[in-house]
Amino acid sequence: MATELVIWSPAGGQRVPCPPDDITWIGRALLSGGRDRYLHRGIVCAGLRYVAHRWELFNRDTGQEIYLARRHPRTPPSAQVARATAEHVIPPATPRLEPYPVRLDEGEWLVGIGMYSVVLFVGVPPRDDDSPSWTSRQARPALVPAVDGEREQDGPSETTFRSDGEPPVADAVSRVRAYFDKRGLVQMAIAFYYQEVIRNKVPAQEVPMLDVAVALNLTSGSAIADYKKELQRLIWNEPSGHQRELAGFLVNSGLIDQSVLNRAVQLARANERTGKIRDARQRLEYRPNRA
């Protein structure tokens, strides 16, 4: 007799039993309650299957890794926790190769994919999450969950991103990740620019571009605008027309997060200590808005 496996979706507020004779896909519906268009549906996402009398977690998404961590009572069901405590990381798939799957022992597991998460109950009774702050939000999930970091004491607010335009190209996440891997300063600059979005405050106001250029000692005051054009080209194959969608895509896909923002803040503080911010103000003819 197959071991029972039940998925709990915090975003959808639902429990889904997994039939052992079929694949259960961890896609858009389970991760975001069907609200995030940037997430894949079946066949090209993470999945669960019963093989040789054991459940296993596998990945067919070419743009997202999977973080798998054991979950204990009172552990928030967040992707950030999964990344921080992961026992296994399944890399993204390639067009021709599915990474080696992870076999699931009996117990409770937390799965983090991008900025989303699900909980797996393998051979143990499902239970509601025992964190009131999460339970109260199941009925109205946010597209961008809260992130850890230096922020308000009373808990995060929620932000919803609309994406009514053209969908991204199929390999948008991997294209942007490769771009950021070669240009760490660009990734930090974009995270610094969208820091209110990352911290999930409402309204999500961007930091003025010139302020970012000064803080991180960028080459020009228009550097952020140039970075945004290149990111839109990588994601939508066009350099403009997606300003309102860009932040949501980057945060939802895990391409910028609190860890990147922390590095950017540390760099800005180092620039302040070493006098680079003072030099950047002079070089960029920075005039702060005293209003």
Residue 17: the pLDDT is 94
Under CATH, which number does the domain 5-131 receive?
2.60.200
Which one, of 85, 12, 17, lies nearest residue 48 by Cα? 17
Categorize the per-residue pLDDT at 289 as very low, low, confident or very high, splitting at 50, 70 and 90. Answer: low
Residue 288: the pLDDT is 64
Q: Where exactly are the structural domains of the chain?
A: 5-131, 172-283
Average pLDDT over residues 152-176: 59
Residue 196: the pLDDT is 86
pLDDT digits (tens, 9 = 90+) for 195-215: 988 876 444 678 999 999 999
pLDDT > 70: percent of the chain: 84
Q: Is the pLDDT of residue 162 over 50?
A: no
More confident residue, 35 or 45: 45
Average pLDDT over residues 238-260: 85
> Rounded to two decimals, what is the model's pTM?
0.52
Residue 184: the pLDDT is 92
Averaged confidence pLDDT in the chain: 82
